[in-house]
Structure 1
């Protein structure tokens, strides 16, 4: 059931972006949920799916790690975003929260889109056909977003949405390029830190977890935009560990933990990296990053 819900969210996000010119209308001011609230609900759904036996322990652990990565990118105190009357779909609207929520579906959604769900094998042929049709529908929606961006290549929000879709489809190189376009097409104020750190993360994925020079440059741009950006700080510390500078890595991770809330879901994962750095074992290229 959760997979169908997640697919509906993805579909809604892509349709709303592709049809954005037709969706503008006046509305009363509302307050949307904060991303932190969205992630909290997704953690609860993840645990419910695990308890019901619809997710394996490994999938649940990977899902928690992905949600932890997204939580790292949030500012320490994020308030719900007010929506002014008369606004349409845009990066400051609830649509942005939907797009960001889609990004944390991680393992379950990727497995679904690649037809690798553990429950798929035993499904009737008709149900399997429905899932194949839904995958094709999702790919068609991605193509629609690509077509719209071909007509309006300076739409930064569209590039960000497309980058997330590429990432979920396993098109990591395309995702890195799309995040770069999203950053380059920002307004005069420049790209926000999360865009650069997203690009750095997918560039790291391209190298099987090794923080390459282009990835490091992206993380450094993120810190230039926001010196407290948690994801950039995490990966730059990881880069130091991979280069053999364990002390610098430990210092960076400990500083990150000092700034994180006591109940931050990613805290155990960073503590594990610190323990590895303090031990004799080599730093892995692809750690269980938050």
Structure 2
């Protein structure tokens, strides 16, 4: 912001110099210039009189009278110039000073009136760049409306589907991707969008079209990290732990050993190996205890219920989101569970397998905020009229939590 005003001041000073210097120079040159013109005219007229006298066009008496008249006019002009010059000299500096004050003042006033002063404030600029939930919904609604009027826009449907996916409106996202048609199968990344959405809608399992597209990507690109992670996750929720290890270990071989991705994958692989030990306790008797310790460290569990006073405000088909956030820091959920209001009261467990990002897991937080919200609209963005409840602070590994949905969002 300071640099802007310095640069603006320098430009104003340059403009003022270009405007005022000619005005200031005129006080020494304007008077001399006019006197020179008057003198030249006098000489021309006097020379003409002399020629007329020589040719006999005028008499000597007329010549003398005309010469006296010319001399008198020249003296009057010189006197007038002498009187006017101080006034002009006084006015020119005043004009320059007036421009020096008025021009910057007018520029600043005009900028404040029709410009964007807030753009100079980084905090204001950052706030302006972060739209509210209502603004996001409005933008998405406008995009949906335009696409309904002009549906022949595959990229528009892809964008709308991604927007719905981020908002938690998975059914709407699936419909938008369907309307994108063949465009969703033209690129591996878009094909994986469909597969990931299927996993979101089916508790981690990739079903239907999503499963077919995931299989195609892995056939064409067997080392695609995104596809391998998703295939491993799908296998994990089907309790096909050998397949999970096969996919995730293939990804682990591709990432730098000291990277965050490597650490997250290693932790996931270790957890799967522990659970494989739980499935075969006779072969590895020490594994169940290890797995139990791992689960305890990476999960919270309890029971969520709807307060009796709000029982009449929830419909059976309303969506219920149960999620864990860090008690302090980013509000991005670390684990999410989606059920229906008809399922309440309901026992729940949130753990690292439900993380929305491999870089942000429940086990990485020192303290948690456990929240439950009944969404009347069915999407993840809070709205007025939604029902909610929370517990804070909660330590990772906590059990037997009693989470009550007991308030209405204003």
Under a length normalisation based on structure 2, what TM-score does the superposition of the two structures give? 0.35
Higher share in strand: 2
The structure with higher relative contact order (CA 8 Å, sep 6+) is 1
Under a length normalisation based on structure 1, what TM-score does the superposition of the two structures give? 0.47
